[in-house]
Structure 1
Amino acid sequence: MKSTLRISLKAGERIFINGAVLRVDRKVALEFLNDVTFLLENHVLQPEGATTPLRQLYFIAQMILINPEGKDHSTAMFRKSITMLLTCFKNEEILAELKRIDALVSTGRAFDALKAIRGLYAIEDNILNNHELPPTMVEQIRREIAPWR
């Protein structure tokens, strides 16, 4: 049997559990006794925060988790986006990790994919700051994903 998971939340904090959004009115500890898909509020990226290609990918991957009714649509958009990113990026570390992230999502491990995407933010920021990814390409990626948000 897996061990339980205990999470503490402060008053007013939200947690996304299996597609439901819960807000607590006081400090509370939750103990998950079985497998559950959840995101803490501080890991949820709002649409306006999806300003770079990887943050846009993160936003789409999180929608797979927090919107079960739209999972098929989110997964299709994820596939389209990851394919586009694999052709745009030239950095070997990002390319290898994007392939791993794709495999994670394909095997139902979107939560792990989110952690992996967050781990690439610093590399992406460096690439964008050094203009290793042309601004026109970044804009093209934004246009592809923007209508979906």
Structure 2
Amino acid sequence: MKVSLRAGELIYINGAVLRVDRKVAIELVNDVMFLLENQIMQAADATTALRQLYFMVQLMLMNPTDHQDAAVLYKQHHAALKAVCENRQMLDGLDQVGELVAATRYYEALKRIRALFPVEQAILSGTAIELPIEAA
């Protein structure tokens, strides 16, 4: 996989934080977990149940050698969300997220959670219609 970065941009690779000093393209030639700076959610932005779930999975991805605490919180939060949610689209999405996390495919799980943000927003605003889900 080839990733292009702008000068000063951060990338998180297998728990390491790298900042590039100039525009660069890097090729990841083996299986690594990474996040680009614009995909990182700050704790203060985890203001909804689904965003909190995203933050927990993000912590598991960013700190692969010490993710047990985040994994415990994730499991509890995921189960609680599934227990209270009635929207079929959200439930199906949460099932997919659960499968991805169980397979340690955290990046794909984050992508799936991001795709559910509009569904959550519709539920919270009281306009819970079935929305087309796009890959984020």
> 1:8-47 to 2 correspondence within 5 Å?
8-47=4-43
> 1:1-149 to 2 correspondence within 5 Å?
5-130=1-126
Give structure 2 stretches of 5+ with no counterpart: 129-136
Measure the CA separation in 2 of the matches of 1:68 and 1:20. 10
Give structure 1 stretches of 5+ with no counterpart: 133-149
Measure the CA separation in 2 of the matches of 1:108 and 1:68. 10
Identity value in percent: 45
> What corresponds to 1:140 in structure 2?
none
Q: Which one has a larger percent helix, Structure 1 or Structure 2?
A: 1
Q: Which has the larger radius of gyration?
A: 1
Letter in 2 for 1:7: V
Measure the CA separation in 2 of the matches of 1:33 and 1:109. 17
TM-score of the aligned structures, taking structure 2 as reference length = 0.90
TM-score of the aligned structures, taking structure 1 as reference length = 0.82
CA RMSD of aligned residues (A): 1.2
Measure the CA separation in 2 of the matches of 1:70 and 1:51. 24
Measure the CA separation in 1 of the matches of 2:96 and 2:4. 31
1:62-121 per-residue CA deviation (whole Å, 9 max, x = no partner) reads 100001233111111110000010012110110111011111101111111101000000
Structure 1 residue 131: Cα displacement: 8.0
